[in-house]
Chain A
């Protein structure tokens, strides 16, 4: 009995020693099964396919700048609806379906915010350019990016069948949502490194032909709504649109109604699909 007890103790000690040795081996990175030393057999290399190179980024930024210049010319000089529509389709094809969504100026807000808040987050110059180009254009000539370069705007413009006017009492509070979304997007990006604006982007699933079902339903719902309400995402959600809207308030060469020449026919008001031309005040002054 005594001998058996001693034997059991001894076996326990041996097992414990073995367990410690295995644990130490694992901690030191020693493999459980030592890799063999081959005589003739050659170890294959681990294949590491590289991401697409910088050229794509240069082309992306170049085309964005070109699109903005053409959009400015079409909106302010040519004043061509047809031209804007053609440019929209081209932008949708390239920035939407070809690029597959990323990186877009809307999402770049979060990269810039994260880059400024966290010094370890690397911000490539292409992302800065993608963020800044539409802002600079908005400061000079208004939101030409939204008009025909943004693929998210273009896809909504394409489905617009018959516009329904959103009543002012509803349009005003809904129009505040983008500012809330912008604030939330910046907060999430700077505090947690989570990019909610990209995560809940309703149309990127269509561009990639794949994504989460919830987001696809959300995007499809917005497109259905967009058949009757012009650009619902842009007007009531888009955080970058809110930012550009603030910039375009001080734009030098934006499209505006000249008060002295306005005869108050209010045709422009009913023609604008986005309800952005407000009725003039009682005295005939623009609001």
Chain B
């Protein structure tokens, strides 16, 4: 600024308009620099991305419909270490089944994404989720959490998620279960317990 003032003085008088403009430029540069410096001093490592806190989730079914993607980025996951490997799985079977077999009418999952397989060890059955079919409706999660171990739960799948700055599911989550978690710890693993959640409550 001072350099300009001196060269301007040699050529023509430095008028009020130029002085104001130079002062405003200086002030703007200083304020933007300050703002960026303040922001940078708060900046630390990886950013935050969206995730579901399964301890708060009430399986309302909003995740299936409110995602900006046609096929929601929220899917059911299975925490195998928590699963009881029940024959009579309340996440798999409809509460009032016609018959206890894998017929579609007896299953809770509307798309047949929960796959039941015998473990070869009596009387245990293993349940896995076919993510290409799962819609993230949370029906199996509700069954498992209400009457079982709660080993099935909903999580945002980060290979599908668009990482919106404002998640539309989060904006409409009635339980406040959507949280921002550090990008280097992007899943809330339920068997580690509620204390292991590293993340800031969104609201």
A39 at the interface (CB under 8 A from B): yes
A23 at the interface (CB under 8 A from B): no
Which of A65-73, A106-114, A272-280 lies at the interface with chain B? A106-114
Do residues B171 and A126 form an inter-chain contact, with CB atoms below 8 A? Answer: no
**Number of residues in B with C-beta < 8 Å to the partner?**
66
Do residues B166 and A250 form an inter-chain contact, with CB atoms below 8 A? Answer: no
From known contacts A43-B81, A120-B200, A212-B168, infer whether A139 and B47 are also in contact, taking CB-CB under 8 Å: no
Neighbour of B36 across the interface among A36, A45, A128, A195, CB < 8 A = A128
From known contacts A107-B165, A211-B68, infer whether A194 and B158 are also in contact, taking CB-CB under 8 Å: no
Within 8 A of A (CB), among B64-97: 66, 68-70, 77-86
Within 8 A of A (CB), among B33-77: 35-36, 38-40, 42-49, 66, 68-70, 77
Neighbour of A194 across the interface among B25, B49, B120, B203, CB < 8 A = B203
**Looking across the interface, which residue of chain B has its beta carbon closest to that of A196?**
B166
Within 8 A of B (CB), among A58-93: none
Do residues A49 and B158 form an inter-chain contact, with CB atoms below 8 A? Answer: yes
Neighbour of A199 across the interface among B158, B168, B203, CB < 8 A = B168
Do residues A33 and B43 form an inter-chain contact, with CB atoms below 8 A? Answer: no
B183 at the interface (CB under 8 A from A): yes
Which of A5-13, A95-103, A149-157, A228-236 lies at the interface with chain B? A95-103
A to B CB contacts below 8 Å, 17 in the list = A31-B149, A31-B150, A35-B82, A35-B84, A41-B121, A46-B78, A49-B157, A50-B186, A100-B162, A116-B42, A125-B43, A139-B29, A139-B32, A195-B166, A208-B69, A208-B162, A249-B24
With contacts A110-B166, A121-B200, A250-B24 known, what are 6 further pairs, Cβ within 8 A? Answer: A31-B84, A122-B47, A124-B43, A132-B36, A198-B165, A212-B66
Chain B residues proximal to chain A, CB less than 8 Å: 21, 24-25, 28-29, 32, 35-36, 38-40, 42-49, 66, 68-70, 77-86, 119-121, 124, 126, 128, 147-151, 157-166, 168, 171, 180, 182-183, 186-187, 189, 193, 200, 202-203
Chain A residues proximal to chain B, CB less than 8 Å: 29, 31-36, 38-41, 43-51, 100-104, 107-108, 110-112, 115-116, 118-128, 131-132, 135-136, 139, 192-196, 198-199, 204-205, 208-212, 247, 249-250, 252
Which 3 A-B pairs have CB atoms at the shortest separation, nearest pair first?
A33-B84, A195-B166, A49-B159
